[in-house]
A and B are shown apart, each in its own frame.
Chain A
Amino acid sequence: MDCEQARDRLSEYQDGNLDAAAAASLAAHLRGCADCAGCVGSLLAVRELLRNMPPEPAPPELVARVLAAVEAEAGDSVASAPPGEAEAATPFLSRFRIPLEAAAAVLLFASVYWYQRTTLPAVRPPTGPSSVISSEAPKESHSGPAAAKEVAAVNPPSRPRLPRGVPKPPKGDAPAAGPRTWTEASLPSVPALRASTDSEPIVPISPSPGPEEASRAAGAPPSGKRRGPEGDADLLLSRVFAPRPSRLLRPVPYGRDIVVDVKPEDREGAEERIAEATFRFGGIVERIDRGSESTEKGPPGTVRAILPEIAAAGFLEELRRIGTVPSTGLSAATGVPAGPRPGTVAYAIRIRVR
């Protein structure tokens, strides 16, 4: 390797980019050539100087200029926020560029849906878990036949769609002469079933109908433990088929009020016992009211328990062990008071000393 070849490779040599053979050859040349060795030394010195060059301090106005430029680009309201944040800071509605037609369609749908909900028989809260559905003779809705006609007028072609395998009702709008039997599995979706309750009797049968169901199918009054005096077939229907209320339509979850009467000697630690029961059922508890108006027997207090929906029944049983729940304190509709999230229930438990 001569000096010219060596010097052409010095830069790569000092960067360590020469392969082993070339590097060895160059190193051998450098050992015998003082000029090239000196050249390598000065190149290394220059490189070290460049590497250690301190950065020039930026003028103080640079930051202000950059921020001003960013602010000008992002808009006055979102200075120095990322572009994504700038979008987030724009007014809520202006972020949705929905065509006017689409908005009108949604509004129309909502209006029709609301009209149907308000016109159809009200769905009362369920009384308890049940997979058996039963209906007796067509129950007159509380809004009367006029309302049913209105519904029919609003939705004339939407004759209840029957599931496959179910015999179609006779032509004409006259109610069926006798009750029809349906299996639960073959029942249609909710709106169709709800419409069916207005027009014809539905007496579904469970896959293995027991004597009670059989008697109900024959028109006998219900005798189940959960049956109320009002003939709660509708309640059961709604329990099984009513759609869960939208989270948007649920009330603010303060929980259903429950009164628990405790004896004066049991008042102490009642909250803790409720909390313990709540935790045992996988829930959380918070104290709402410490009970400022203390009575002679002890201060009242209210706690809120939030539990998984499936634990609600067990928790209510446990509550009855902690104290007496008067009939007014535990209403018939303590089934599924909406909790703060879907699948949860909330109870506001007022402890009363009796």
Chain B
Amino acid sequence: MDLLVEAFRKGNPGAFEAIVRAHQDRVYSFCARMLSDREDALDAAQEVFLSAWRNLSGFRGDAALSTWLLRIAANRCLNRIRRRKSLAEREAAWPVPFGDADDGVTFQPAGAESERPDRLAEACEMGEILTEALSRLDPGSRWMVLLSDVEGFSYEEIASLADVPVGTVKSRLHRARMAMRRLLSPVA
């Protein structure tokens, strides 16, 4: 069991702040890459830690605390994406993130993309390039790539979180990775 969690359960007043400080970068980073919006990411990360504060007494320690927090973050981000009005409009033209009908990867429509410069070519650092490439994926695929390739979740964990079959995760991940490969071919 995480020492900070034990301290939190014992009522140590500084324990929760220490937990937030220890995991804030990873949680915020996931939210920011997933939501592509700083304020949204801040709100989502705040929700993640608040939810953790409420439920930390039920944390059994089966997984690492960071994994537990990322699961919360994944759910929160997914809910936010589903709630986003603009994305909902955008996703009307896209396949639903975890629908049964189509598990392909669709990139952003040309119209939306034409409104912004191609930051992928302008990005000078690899981190920015990757973030930009990830943002080109549809939210569902981005969510899976972040969880699988960045955070190291297994197919089964992702399937459980998304409530889809493992086969769907495999195929969607494959397509998303191939898309990332194409996007990053100039630099990778």
Residues of A within 8 A of B (CB): 7-8, 10-12, 15, 17, 39, 42-43, 45-47, 49-51, 53-59, 61-63, 65-67, 69-70, 73, 79-85, 88
Contact = CB atoms under 8 A, between A and B. Distances in A.
Contacts of B126: 49
Tell me what chain B mostly uses at the interface: helix, strand, loop, or mixed.
helix
B32 interface: yes
Contact of B50 (A10, A49, A57, A73): A73
B56 interface: yes
A67 B188 CA distance: 41
B149 A50 contact: yes
B56 A82 contact: yes
B33 A56 contact: yes
B42 A80 contact: no
B42 A61 contact: yes
Contacts of B25: 55-58
Contact of B11 (A7, A47, A81): A81
Interface string B34-60: 000010001001100110011011000
Nearest to A70: B53
Contacts of B46: 62, 65-66, 69
B28 A59 contact: yes
Interface residues of B, number: 46
Contacts of A7: 178
Given A12-B170, A42-B185, A58-B27, 9 more contacts: A7-B178, A11-B173, A15-B155, A45-B188, A51-B152, A63-B17, A80-B16, A82-B11, A85-B11
14 contacts: A12-B174, A39-B181, A42-B184, A46-B181, A51-B149, A55-B25, A56-B25, A56-B28, A58-B25, A69-B49, A73-B53, A80-B13, A82-B56, A84-B11
Contacts of B14: 80
A123 B54 CA distance: 54
